[in-house]
Structure 1
Amino acid sequence: MTGPLRPAVFFDRDGVINADLGYVGDAARFALLPGAAAGVRAAAEAGALCFLVTNQSGVARGFYTEADVDALHRHMAAELARAGARFDDIRYCPHLPEAPLAAYRRDCGCRKPKPGMILDLMAGWPVDPARSAMIGDRTSDMEAARAAGIRGLLYEGGALADAVRAALAPGA
């Protein structure tokens, strides 16, 4: 996609957008965190592209399928839309080097802390890395941000909209 370069916010999923209940692979176990929609909406209102980047090793472990992840993301998108928020694009990594399922046993470049999902989105969208940030709740999210050449903001709870504003602040 072309156009003038824009800031982007890359959000981790479990622990930032929804409650991290461990291997959330279906809508019945998905709980949008309070303020998550407001945080995504704040990024969009600031003119930023909004992306979701999430490791989903539950696929590689056989807990759920890629179709389940896609269905869950459609459910999440519907919940966010009801609150006036949306992601511009989503990437997930189903791989795991020690995966029980051979089809997903891979040490790939998309699994955080590697930056592949972020870099893929930056290649397909008009992202200005200097004005972009990753918001995640793990050190692997921060390492992925650093490897992709963007800021990382460690989210430890609270108002996600405040975290977004801090991440997008000039000189942050």
Structure 2
Amino acid sequence: MAMRQAAVLLDKDGTLLENVPYNVDPSRMRLAPTAGAALRRFGALGMPLIVVSNQPGVALGKFPRAALAGVEGRLADLFVEHGARLAGFLSCPHHPEGIVGEYARACDCRKPMSGMLTRAASMFGLDLARSWMIGDILDDVEAGRRAGCRTILVDCGNETEWVPGEMRVPQYIVDSLDAAAHIVEQAVRVEAEAMS
């Protein structure tokens, strides 16, 4: 049986991309500061890079779910431009206060729940205990902790509520995505040395 692999699970808006609410226009998608350098660092590691993103705009009637295909395509292009490869893009279209019937509900995939992460583990054969969840708010951290991942909070000012909780304490707090990538890079190096 093949050994399950470690991956990097990334939040999209505010972590990987500049935070533009409900944006599904590929031409307006811009990498967050230091994200290009982070992608180069991640790309060199050879780990699957998977974006996991709440997209409540579907449930709220802001855009159709089909628009997310363009978002995924643009993400894939941005990754390639910076020496990395997008292994997967998982999104949650639900919101309990939505107005689009099939998506207007509570679910187990909307972060801070861990459904997208466990789905990624199933799809890509991931070892979540060796994987990393990186995001800019504590809901990302909680999703990662619930799934059993290692967690990094990119504290760039997007977390404004700071609701406490045992599952909302990240292992690391950094000020940029590249700093997060450096932590992952160091950990991979240490683990590789320990196995050799």
- Assess same fold via TM > 0.5: yes
Residues 3-82 of structure 1 mapped to structure 2, 5 A cutoff = 3-82=2-81
1:134 and 2:133 correspond: yes
* Structure number with larger C-alpha Rg: 2
Q: Which amino acid aligns with 2:134?
A: I
Preserved CA contact (<8 Å) 2:114 2:144: yes
Q: Please say which of residues 129-138 and 78-87 is displaced more in the overlay.
A: 78-87
Q: Please say which of residues 14-23 and 121-130 is displaced more in the overlay.
A: 121-130
Residues 43-122 of structure 1 mapped to structure 2, 5 A cutoff = 43-122=42-121
Other-structure match for 1:163: 180
Q: Please say which of residues 39-48 and 4-13 is displaced more in the overlay.
A: 39-48
RMSD: 2.1
Q: Which amino acid aligns with 2:45?
A: A
Residues 6-41 of structure 1 show CA distances to partners (whole Å, capped at 9, x for unaligned) of 221100000011110211121233212233233233
Q: Secondary structure in 1 aligned to 2:83?
A: coil
Distance 1:28 1:47, change over 3 A: closer
Distance in structure 2 (CA, Å) of the matches to 1:77 and 1:46: 17
In the TM superposition, what is the alpha-carbon distance from 1:159 to its structure 2 partner? 4.2
Other-structure match for 2:170: none
Consecutive unaligned residues in structure 2, runs of 5 or more: 157-174, 191-196
Preserved CA contact (<8 Å) 1:54 1:93: yes
In the TM superposition, what is the alpha-carbon distance from 1:169 to its structure 2 partner? 4.2
Distance in structure 1 (CA, Å) of the matches to 2:81 and 2:184: 25
Q: Secondary structure in 2 aligned to 1:39?
A: helix
Q: Which amino acid aligns with 1:162?
A: A
TM-score where L is the length of structure 1: 0.89
Q: Which amino acid aligns with 1:90?
A: F
- What is the aligned length? 171
1:147 and 2:146 correspond: yes
Q: Which amino acid aligns with 2:183?
A: A
Report % sequence identity. 34
Misfit runs of 4+, over 3 Å: 167-171
* Higher RCO by CA contacts (8 Å cutoff, separation 6 or greater): 1
In the TM superposition, what is the alpha-carbon distance from 1:135 to its structure 2 partner? 0.4
Residues 26-73 of structure 1 show CA distances to partners (whole Å, capped at 9, x for unaligned) of 123321223323323322322322110000001111111111111122
Distance in structure 2 (CA, Å) of the matches to 1:79 and 1:164: 17
TM-score where L is the length of structure 2: 0.79
Consecutive unaligned residues in structure 1, runs of 5 or more: none
Distance in structure 2 (CA, Å) of the matches to 1:168 and 1:126: 21
Q: Secondary structure in 2 aligned to 1:57?
A: coil
Preserved CA contact (<8 Å) 1:38 1:85: no
Preserved CA contact (<8 Å) 1:7 1:47: no
Q: Which amino acid aligns with 2:11?
A: D
Distance 1:15 1:61, change over 3 A: same
In the TM superposition, what is the alpha-carbon distance from 1:124 to its structure 2 partner? 1.9
